[in-house]
Structure 1
Amino acid sequence: MTIRKTWYIYTCGDRKTNHNIYYESPPGIQFENALLQIAPVDKGKCPYVRDNNDIVFQLYTRHNPTVAHSLVIDDDERLFASSIDFNDRTVIYFHAFMETPDDGSGLMIREAYTHRGDTNVIMVDAQRLEAGPWYFKAAENTWYIGRIGAQFIDYLVSR
């Protein structure tokens, strides 16, 4: 068991007063394949906090089967510097509650497709939004994960 410290600061703009509200990310403990946090991240209270950090898109291909290229929505420079091949199939994998994209079924999916050699595998890492033991809050955060995932797919298709 390893303790994983998180030191992220969340800011949420109050549209009525134009003031920012600051939230510190809850500390977490990595236990086997699960991330357990002391408190949930509530995207319902502040849905537009840290869009590029709450969800990370990790690209794996035959050229980089074990080390991910991080992709960011609207970052063409990073996209075209990565090993993505737009002629190959693309598989996008969203992990489940208390999972990580680097272990268990995520690892199995990634290895299976990268060994085929003709597939871009994009692992959607939303661990902090789906951390345990906060199942109901994680379930509520799925709308946000889906929204950002859809924006990412739209971005890829537009390129």
Structure 2
Amino acid sequence: MFRFLVLVYMAVAITSSLPVDESKQYPRFIEIPGGDGQLHKVDLEEQPDIELLSEITRNPANNLYLLFTRRNPRSAQTLVMNDIDSILSSNFNPYVPTVVIAHGWLSNQNSDLNPVIRDAYLDKSDVNVIVLDWRRLAISGYVTAASGVPAVGRGLGLFLEFVSRVTGASYGSMHLVGFSLGSHLVGNAGRQLGGRLARITALDPAGPLWVYNSNRVSANDAIYVEGIHTNGGMVGLGLGSAIGHADFFPNGGVTQPGCYTPICDHNRAWEFFASSVTHNHLIGTECTSSTQITLNTCRGSRILPMGNDDLNKRGFGRYRVNTGRRYPF
């Protein structure tokens, strides 16, 4: 009897730490982190702000598109939808890769992930970095923000279509990077462009309201879609299920070394990614089951680097990566 109870306890413990699957259910009231570094109590059944959503849907120009290049690495140039002069008079170079960074809930252009990822790219190579500031919607309630993500994503897609038409920049030179709600945003941008973008990287894509949501980021949204999951699990803030061609579950995909809060675990996704752009050193081993991911027993025949800036990256499957506690991890 004692052995049976021990086995039951172990099974429950392992199950609670497994990456999320489609059976995950969030409670009505949940604490979700914002870009301010705080947890906010959210009612997932509250009514969204219909007036704001209508405005966002009608006018994608509500969003700011801020260009950084090696000629202006710290001082942004504002690119404006349907304003040809704003593009042609800027430092945008259609002959180098373009990286778009999309923040999450309660965040803006000044949130930590933007300068960290921007600097990682510009310190390494000559690229266009466009920071998407969608604070007009992102500072609203979580349910409203999540409801408006598809419209903002479509607006981003239309903006990139405009940039491509004006400059000749190829969709094959574009990489969209989104964090949390921003992951689903860039997925919708890629969908707007028929999946023709070179790459999408989803950094711990948001879980609440997205488990069964057909508008969530998926493998159809770009030629190559990668997910990096750092806070999945039964009570995690991110989706723990695979969403792309290749999905990575650092340290099991639920909690991260050196972290003691869900906010830290969640943010590790963009911290890992920025480090991988610089060093390309986080190598994943293929896993055949969620249990292998959790128990660190992945022995697949394939290995694949997590993250990095490779526009032509290809891979498929689920991978575990083991990291250190602090940068460069």
Q: TM-score, normalised by structure 1?
A: 0.68
1:45 aligns with 2:57: no
In the TM superposition, what is the alpha-carbon distance from 1:32 to its structure 2 partner? 4.4
Map 1:113-124 to 2 at 5 A.
Answer: 113-124=121-132
Q: What SS does the corresponding residue of 1:58 show, helix, strand or coil?
A: strand
Q: Paired residue for 1:140?
A: 147
| 2:53 match: secondary structure | coil
**Which of 109, 122, 128 is the matching residue for 1:101?**
109
CA contact (8 A) 2:69 2:129 kept: yes
Pick from 112, 118, 124 the counterpart of residue 110 of structure 1: 118
Q: Does 1:63 align with 2:80?
A: no
Report the secondary structure of 2:104's partner residue. coil
Contact 1:33 1:103 in 2 (8 A): no
Contact 1:42 1:141 (C-alpha < 8 Å) held by counterparts: no
Could you say which residue in structure 2 is the equivalent of 1:92? 100
Within 2, Cα distance between the matches of 1:41 and 1:95? 22
- The separation in 1 between residues aligned to 2:95 and 2:50, in whole angstroms, is 37
- Structure 1 position 61, deviation (Å): 0.3
Q: 1:156 to 1:122 in 2, by over 3 A?
A: same
Match of 2:31 in 1: none
Alignment CA distance shift 1:99-1:78 (3 Å): same
Deviations along 1:13-46, one digit per CA (max 9) or x if unpaired, are xxxxxxxxxxxxxxxxxx9468x9xx96844334
Q: CA contact under 8 A between 2:67 and 2:79: conserved in structure 1?
A: yes
The amino acid of 2:146's aligned partner reads: A
Q: Which residue of 1 aligns with 2:7?
A: none
**Equivalent residues of 2:100, 2:130 under 8 A apart:** yes
* Preserved CA contact (<8 Å) 2:36 2:106: no
Which residue, out of 133, 136, 139, partners 1:128?
136
Structure 1: distance between partners of 2:50 and 2:36: 21
Secondary structure class of the residue paired with 1:102? coil
> Structure 1's 68 and 116: CA in aligned 2 closer, same or farther, altered over 3 A?
same
Q: State TM-score, norm by structure 2.
A: 0.35
- What percent of counterpart residues are identical? 24
Distance 1:41 1:32, change over 3 A: farther
**In the TM superposition, what whole-angstrom CA distance separates every residue of 1:100-154 from its partner, at most 9, and x where no partner exists?**
222211121111112224110001100120115x111000110111111000111
Q: Partner of 2:54: helix, strand, or coil?
A: coil
User: Separation in 1 of the partners of 2:106 and 2:138?
Assistant: 6
- Number of matched residues? 123
Q: Which has the larger radius of gyration?
A: 2
Structure 1 CA distance for aligned equivalents of residues 131 and 50 of structure 2: 20
1:33 to 1:153, Cα distance in 2 relative to 1, 3 A = farther
Give secondary structure in 1 for the equivalent of 2:81: coil
- Structure 2 residue identity aligned to 1:45: S
1:77 aligns with 2:85: yes
Q: Where in structure 1 are there 5+ consecutive unaligned residues?
A: 1-30
Q: Is the 8 A contact 1:33 1:104 kept in 2?
A: no
RMSD: 2.4
SS of equivalent to 2:106: coil
Contact 1:41 1:129 in 2 (8 A): no
CA pair 87-33 structure 1, distance change in 2 beyond 3 A: farther
Distance 1:57 1:75, change over 3 A: same
Structure 2 equivalent of residue 156 of structure 1? 163
Contact residue 33 and residue 100 of structure 1 kept, 8 A: no
User: Post-superposition, which runs of at least 4 consecutive aligned residues in structure 1 deviate over 2 A?
Assistant: 31-34, 39-47
